[in-house]
Amino acid sequence: MFEQQQLNYDRIAEAIEYIKNNFKEQPNLDALAAQVHLSPFHFQRLFTEWAGTTPKKFLQYISIEHAKKLLLQQQATLADTAFETGLSGTSRLHDLFINIEGMTPAEYKNGGKNLQINFSYAESPFGNLIVASTSKGICYMAFEDDETKALNALKQHFSNAYFQQKLDLIQQHALFIFQNDWSKLGDIKLHLKGTDFQLKVWETLLKIPMGQLSTYGHIASKIGHAKASRAVGTAIGSNPVAYLIPCHRVIQSSGNIGGYMWGNTRKTAIIGWEAAKTALREAN
């Protein structure tokens, strides 16, 4: 048993190293599987189990990190960046950034300059909040009673963007969740920017069902970094979208409520509110 686990670990370690060294060739699943002498199906399952993500996604993470360095540090053109990353053209570079970063390569390069952000203030069962959106989805939501402080905090996240106070349809669909209208959940889109690690943590938070709780350690295990509870906590604390990305559903393994960017009392209230709503829905 131990020998098989060691063999599996060695294979995945070899595959990861191969991807890091050869990402410019954009190897497909068959090529990666052949490198460690496994069938594509077996390799896909084994890699996902050990690395916490698929081989394709890992290749994308490695590729986009290289592309980001070229765009920011070397001020490379989009065409040169696509070529140096092993992509067939700027359209594939565009798709990669949209899928992973939630923004175009040009938007990433200029720090959000010319990015149009609509924002509005709203009430919720847990206090006043500010919600902001781009054409792609909700990019920011935070509990804050002081509107000036709320807007200043939003602008710190997107220092070069253009802001307009406007309640749009994207925001309305998101705010319906506080009115017990769950029919619009499928219409809620998010537009996030963050590190690969942060995005993986936030994506995992979205999978915690309403009315249920998880722990920092469990989240760390789910993303393939079982010993990174502290780093997970930091990523959760950087969550830019209150409530919709349910960081309030993560508590300490001891059962303590743990910290919350918008206050532990509010976190306790949200957990209780969700538990009551879930029980009512199940009873009906």
DSSP assignment of 230-264: HHHHHHHHT-SBTTTS-GGGEE-TTS-----TT-H
pLDDT at position 165: 96
Predicted TM-score (pTM) of this structure: 0.63
What pLDDT score was predicted for residue 13? Answer: 85
169 and 254 assigned to the same domain = no
Q: Where residue 202 sits, what CATH number does that domain have? A: 1.10.10.10
> Do 171 and 213 sit in the same domain of this protein?
no
- Structure confidence at residue 110 (pLDDT): 67
Active-site positions? Answer: 247
List, run by run, the mean pLDDT of 10-residue segments along the chain (284 residues): 72 88 92 91 86 82 86 81 85 78 71 80 94 92 95 87 92 85 67 81 89 91 83 90 94 88 92 85 72
**Total number of domains constituting the chain:** 3
Task: Give the model's pLDDT for residue 75.
Answer: 78
pLDDT of amino acid 34: 92
Both 152 and 216 in a single domain? no
Is the same domain home to 101 and 7? Answer: yes
State the pLDDT at residue 240: 93
Whole-number Å distance between alpha carbons of 143 and 124: 9
- Amino acid 180: pLDDT: 65
Per DSSP, the chain holds a count of helices (H) and strands (E) of 13, 6
Residues 226 and 172 in one domain: no
Q: How far apart are CA 29 and CA 26, in angstroms?
A: 10
